[in-house]
């Protein structure tokens, strides 16, 4: 269906690289956009500026996918955008300022067209990128052709200056410009190439693959926070498992981030089945539009290393819960400065892990106390996932499922089952010895 639509577009233009398509040549309509995006574009037009929906939103609509958000590009400068939207907007970014416009609960990101002049350092990295340009120059500055389509919802025209429609039709991920130069400008484009190709089921062009294999080492110099941000996007792109397979296939070094290194260790150990289950289940939830917590997925990805440390601590004589606390410190705290992730995520991961040994206890008063913990639900879901992968007791997982549904009386019976009618063992009494006098002769 998608290929038929795009082929139809290409036939009507009689040009493999069309530059302007009117509404008779494509199936995009303004009612496919969010109200916030339409309102933003309309206000910019009314103020006398060009304005387009750009990037992934146009691509996704052509692929009949639901866009995650709608970004806008314009020839208005950030200050001019602020004058249009006033207090409902703010300028962010240092190297190249962009504007966030608040429309109800939605945030629309507006960028000014970028120019072709920028400053590079001796390694080819962009150091200064604050020149403005035209729509055509802005298209050349984007990373991949599929992200360089511009849609004007007012005139309902699509502008394609880089042959994007042809590449989308062939399901190919193609870099705009020389891949080697573009990866030197920003090495993070290598990880984005993996994520986009996996998410869209596109084939990465051979020149991109070759450039990644040659320049993957550049990622080692990237800040941990930037790499973690990309990892989070990969986990939630609905093709996380495929992403991690492609990273290995393209030779991305595992030492660019601790998460990659620990996940790779899991693949080489007994944790391989659990890691596979986690990523597949995550993909299924994202595809079904169900909520997914990044902290939960990360806790599952790193579990094999935490569990291994816990077992080593138990072997040294520590009880299960203190052994887990120590294991968490050994895995996380030793590398905390290298993770680049928000502390709230680390805190949530610790809570999930910390409750795992306590879920093994299903008698006495402790289960009731555990049920009232704020992080119980996440820890319970995690335990269920472990049980499905034969990493935890399926019987105890079912017990916890039943316990949550049980009434107060039923819970009492589950926690304190009646003792069997077995005869009590009588304690054998020992006769006390008679006290002896120190001096028996005094009694005579």
Q: Among all residues, which ones are annotated catalytic?
A: 69, 71, 143
Question: Which residue in 262, 286, 273 sits closest to 68, CA to CA?
Answer: 286
Residue 113, CA distances (Å) to 132, 140, 150, 198, 245 in order? 6, 10, 12, 28, 36
Confirm if 378 and 348 have CB atoms less than 8 A apart: yes
Q: Which two tokens stand for residue 344?
A: 């709230």
- SS3 of 92, please? strand
Confirm if 377 and 384 have CB atoms less than 8 A apart: no
Cα 100 to chain centroid distance, Å, stands at: 23
Contacts of 414 (CB under 8 A, 6+ apart): 362, 399, 402, 403, 406
Confirm if 320 and 291 have CB atoms less than 8 A apart: no
Look-up of token digits 């866009």: 67
Strand 20-21 versus strand 51-54 pairing type: unpaired
| Residue 10: other Cβ atoms inside 10 A | 17
Taking the C-alpha atoms of residue 410 and residue 408, their distance in angstroms, rounded to an integer, is: 6
Q: Which helix (H) or strand (E) holds 203?
A: strand 203-204
Q: Which two tokens stand for residue 391?
A: 């990493």
What letters, b where the CB count within 10 A reaches 16 and e where it falls short, cover 144-166?
A: bbbbbbbbbbeeebbbbbbbbbb
Q: Which two tokens stand for residue 161?
A: 């200056």
């Amino acid at each position: 269906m998608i290929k038929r639509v795009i082929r139809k577009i290409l036939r009507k233009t009689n040009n493999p690289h069309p530059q302007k398509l009117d509404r008779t040549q494509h199936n995009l309509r303004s009612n496919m956009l969010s109200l916030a995006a339409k309102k933003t574009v309309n206000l910019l037009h009314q103020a006398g500026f060009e304005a387009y929906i750009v990037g992934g939103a146009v691509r996704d609509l052509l692929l009949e996918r639901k866009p995650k958000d709608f970004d806008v590009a314009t020839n208005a400068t950030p200050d001019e955008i602020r004058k249009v939207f006033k207090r409902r907007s703010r300028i962010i970014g240092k190297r190249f300022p962009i504007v966030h416009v608040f429309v109800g609960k939605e945030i629309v990101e507006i960028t000014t067209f970028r120019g072709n002049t920028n400053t590079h350092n001796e390694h080819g990295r962009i150091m200064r990128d604050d020149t403005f340009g035209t729509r055509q120059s802005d298209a050349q500055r984007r990373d991949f052709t599929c992200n360089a389509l511009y849609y004007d919802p007012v005139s309902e025209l699509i502008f394609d200056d880089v042959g994007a429609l042809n590449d989308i039709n062939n399901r190919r991920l193609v870099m705009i410009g020389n891949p080697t130069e573009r990866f030197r400008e920003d090495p993070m484009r290598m990880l984005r190439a993996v994520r986009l190709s996996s998410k869209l089921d596109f084939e990465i062009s051979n020149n991109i693959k070759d450039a990644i294999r040659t320049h993957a080492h550049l990622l080692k110099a990237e800040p941990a926070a930037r790499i973690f941000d990309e990892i989070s996007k990969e986990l939630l792109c609905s093709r996380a498992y495929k992403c991690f397979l492609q990273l290995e296939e393209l030779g991305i070094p595992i030492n660019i981030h601790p998460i990659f290194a620990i996940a790779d260790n899991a693949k080489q150990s007994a944790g391989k089945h659990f890691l596979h289950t986690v990523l597949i289940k995550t993909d299924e939830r994202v595809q079904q539009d169900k909520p997914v917590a990044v902290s939960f997925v990360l806790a599952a990805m790193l579990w094999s290393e935490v569990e291994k440390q816990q077992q080593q601590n138990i072997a040294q004589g520590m009880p299960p819960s203190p052994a887990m606390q120590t294991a968490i410190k050994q895995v996380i705290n030793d590398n905390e400065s290298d993770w680049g992730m928000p502390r709230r995520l680390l805190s949530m991961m610790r809570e999930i892990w910390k409750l795992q040994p306590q879920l093994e206890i299903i008698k006495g008063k402790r289960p009731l106390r555990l049920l009232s913990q704020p992080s119980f639900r996440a820890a319970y879901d995690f335990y269920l996932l472990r049980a499905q992968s034969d990493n935890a007791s399926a019987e105890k997982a079912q017990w916890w499922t039943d316990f949550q549904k049980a009434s107060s009386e039923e819970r009492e019976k589950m926690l304190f089952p009646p003792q069997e009618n077995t005869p009590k063992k009588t304690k054998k009494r020992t006769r006390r010895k008679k006290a002896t006098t120190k001096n028996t002769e005094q009694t005579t």
